[in-house]
Amino acid sequence: MFASTASRSVRTSPATRLSQVARQIQPQRQQSRMAHNGTTVKLNTGAHIPSIGFGTWQDKDAQEPAVTIALKAGYRHIDTARIYGTEAAVGNAIKKSGIPREELFITTKLWNNSHHPDDVEKAIDASLKDLQTSYLDLYLMHWPSPFARSDDMMPKDSNGKIKTGDSDYVDTYKAMEKVLQAGKTRAIGVSNFSKAELERLIQETSVVPAVHQIELHPYLQQHSFTEFHKQKGIHVTQYSPFGNQNEIYDAGKGMGKLMQDPVLVEIANKHGKTGAQVALAWGIAKGHSVIPKSKTESRIKSNLEGDFALPREDVDKIAALDKKLRFNDPSETFGWEFYKDLDGKKN
């Protein structure tokens, strides 16, 4: 967060301060369109995904200025989702940036209330409209769990519980294959699937997912699961690469933050980096892409510096940190048993 200066009598919000910073950098747009010269990974489609992306979950009002700053800093991989409510802000920031569309890698996600096959194309069209683009680089099914068909993102019954739907995620994915064929996205994939769910999807559909976005960090390394992805040619994108840094994760409270882990700090000091940058570099060294999020200018820029080569000895040292700690599991809320065959599942 930006602190107000002593000369101000009114404390400004993070979104207001970010807006001020974003306005300050707009006149220099033409001088600052150089993308971060970082690593990329080739997908099974032949396209390349930048190894570091910018996540836009939470803080909806702060996202347009935050994305503006991220693009100025050199990010070219932007990750959003329908449920985040940030697609319009992302679209506005991209449009104002003046960066050619072909230089960007834009990901968004299908939400659970649009899993019925007849709703998938309408859902992607709504996302395209808000993002102000004619195509996506990647369209993901956010979760395998269907909600009831509804305009409400979180449809609930009279008892306040989520109204689940009966659409099969395989049928949902087949509808995603159709929007891929129509050119509305250049790749499709999934998020938050178990191994069994992913295996079934591959067996019963025509297009192998290009990407699987999952919770992954040094405290939840999922070695066998990530190896399975390599065998199938599916790229892994890590969300929550800082583990329990996000205050929304109740499971991570009452314990030390991942970014302050002594092993990460020791490695960071050796390389003149931060614990956060080492956590990102670890993911990249494993062949994954990572999508840290921030609304603070200094952290947005700092995270981009996590794209550096981490020596094998450091990667091996971080391997010992695996605690099989999963921080994001909405099984009870969503009415679906997630991650049944994966590390970190609480019985």
Q: Name residues whose C-beta falls within 8 Å of residue 269's C-beta, 6 or more positions apart in sequence.
A: none
Query: Number of C-alpha atoms within 13 angstroms, CB side, residue 300?
Result: 27
DSSP H stretches of helix in the chain: 14-25, 63-73, 87-97, 117-131, 169-181, 195-204, 223-232, 262-271, 275-285, 297-304, 312-319, 331-334
Q: Are 18 and 297 in contact (CB under 8 A)?
A: yes
Tokens of 346: 């609480």
Catalytic residue of the set 84, 139, 169, 339: 84
Instruction: Tell me how far apart the alpha carbons of residues 51 and 285 are, in angstroms, rounded to a whole number.
Output: 10
DSSP label of 42: E
DSSP label of 236: E
Q: Per the annotation, does 229 bind a ligand?
A: no
Instruction: Tell me how far apart the alpha carbons of residues 206 and 202 are, in angstroms, rounded to a whole number.
Output: 7
Task: Please name the amino acid found at residue 131.
Answer: L
Let me know if 84 is a catalytic residue.
Answer: yes
Per the annotation, where are the binding residues? 142
Per the annotation, where are the binding residues for substrate? 142
Positions marked active-site: 84
